[in-house]
Amino acid sequence: MTERRAFPPLHKDDLEADPFAQFAAWYDLAAAEVPLAEAMTVATVDAEGAPDARLVLLKGHGPNGFRFHTNYESAKATEIAADPRGALILYWREHDRQVRARGAIERLSPADSDAYFASRARESRLGAWASPQSRPLEDRADLDRRLEEARERFADTADIPRPDHWGGFILRPRTIEFWQGQQARLHDRFLYSRAGEGEAWTIRRRAP
């Protein structure tokens, strides 16, 4: 069995007082050294209260939370509309680090969604129009046909607009945990938590 790479112990004094500043430090390093560092799992619950999860791309982070974008008619968006409680996790294997967050998920403003959509490549914008995300398709040809229809629809449009059924979400965390892998599975874990928006964060070490 391959032995786990040794990393320096993580101490409370090493951490920023603000978890978003701590996340930015870890994320910036991961973005420079880890392939697809923005990949994160977002978990929601369905109508029966059963957990559901999928990989999405982190598209922004800061004092308000963690952002991602999707089809508003997708399974995850439907679940969020019914129950906004959610969780996310990012894992960077090369650094043996993970970040977990839990909190309410809500839609971004139309202006924020428009701004991000405008930054996407043309083919990605066409794909947002073409894909009926999470719904059944007859076959790949059905999807290809929908994409061709979108291409024809916007053939003379330089700036393809954002469809109403597509946009952003933000998870506003109540808790954020930072995990640093260590030898013998005696990992370092620190949980940031707060009672409510605008309250001070507390930091506690947790057993591995």
Q: What residues are labeled active site?
A: 185
The upper half-sphere exposure of residue 158, i.e. CA atoms within 13 Å in the direction of its Cβ, equals 0
Q: CA-CA distance, 65 to 119, in Å (whole number)? A: 20
Q: Quick one: tokens of 185?
A: 């599975």
**DSSP-derived secondary structure letter, 150:** H
Q: CA-CA distance, 21 to 206, in Å (whole number)? A: 20
Backbone phi, psi, residue 102, to 5°: -130, 145
Nearest to 37 by CA among 52, 16, 59: 59
Alpha helices, H only, the chain: 19-33, 75-82, 110-118, 122-130, 140-153
Q: CA-CA distance, 34 to 45, in Å (whole number)? A: 30
CB 87 within 8 A of CB 43: yes
